[in-house]
Structure 1
Amino acid sequence: MSEDRVIIYEEVGADPSIDVMTVQNGSGRTRVRAVGEPGQMVELVSRLVAEGVDQVELCGAFGAVWHAEAGRAVGGEVPVGAVYYGFESLTGVASYKARFEAGETLSEAFIIVHEGADPAVDVVVHERGDGGRTTLVAVPDETVAGEVAGKMASELQLIELYGGSGPEGAEPVIRAVDSRVPVGVTAYRR
Structure 2
Amino acid sequence: MSEDRVIIYEETGGDPETDVMTIHNGSGRTRVRAVGKQEQMVELISRLVGEGVTQIELCGAFGAVWHAAAGRAAGGKVPVGAIYYGFESLTGVASYKARFEAGDVLSEAFLIVHEGADPSADVVTHERADGGRTTLVAVPDEAAAGEVAGTMAGDLQLIELYGGSGPEGAEPVIRAVDGRVPVGVSAYRR
Give the TM-score, by structure 2 length.
0.99
- What secondary structure, in the 3-state scheme, does the structure 1 residue paired with 2:170 have? helix
Are residue 5 (structure 1) and residue 32 (structure 2) matched?
no
What is the DSSP-based 3-state SS (H/G/I as helix, E as strand, rest coil) of the residue aligned with 1:165? Answer: coil
Q: Which ranges of 4 or more aligned residues in structure 1 deviate by more than 6 Å?
A: none
Q: CA deviation at 1:73?
A: 0.9
State how 1:134-153 maps to structure 2 within 5 Å.
Answer: 134-153=134-153
Cα distance in structure 2, aligned partners of 1:27 and 1:164: 14
* Partner SS for 2:110: strand
Tell me the secondary structure at the aligned position of residue 89 of structure 1: helix
Q: In the aligned structure 2, how far is the partner of 1:76 from the partner of 1:103? A: 37
Identical-pair percentage: 84
1:96-111 paired onto structure 2 within 5 Å: 96-111=96-111
- CA deviations 1:120-144 (Å, max 9, x no partner) are 0000011000000000000000000
- 1:160 is matched by which residue type in structure 2? E
Match of 2:166 in 1: 166
State how far apart, in whole Å, the 2-side matches of 1:75 and 1:9 are: 20
In the TM superposition, what is the alpha-carbon distance from 1:84 to its structure 2 partner? 0.1
In structure 2, the residue matched to 1:94 is 94
User: 2:43 corresponds to which letter in structure 1?
Assistant: E
Gaps of 5+ in 2: none
Report the aligned-residue RMSD.
0.4
Q: Give the partner amino acid of 2:107.
A: S
1:74 Cα offset (Å): 1.2
Aligned pairs, how many? 190
- Unaligned stretches of 5+ in structure 1? none
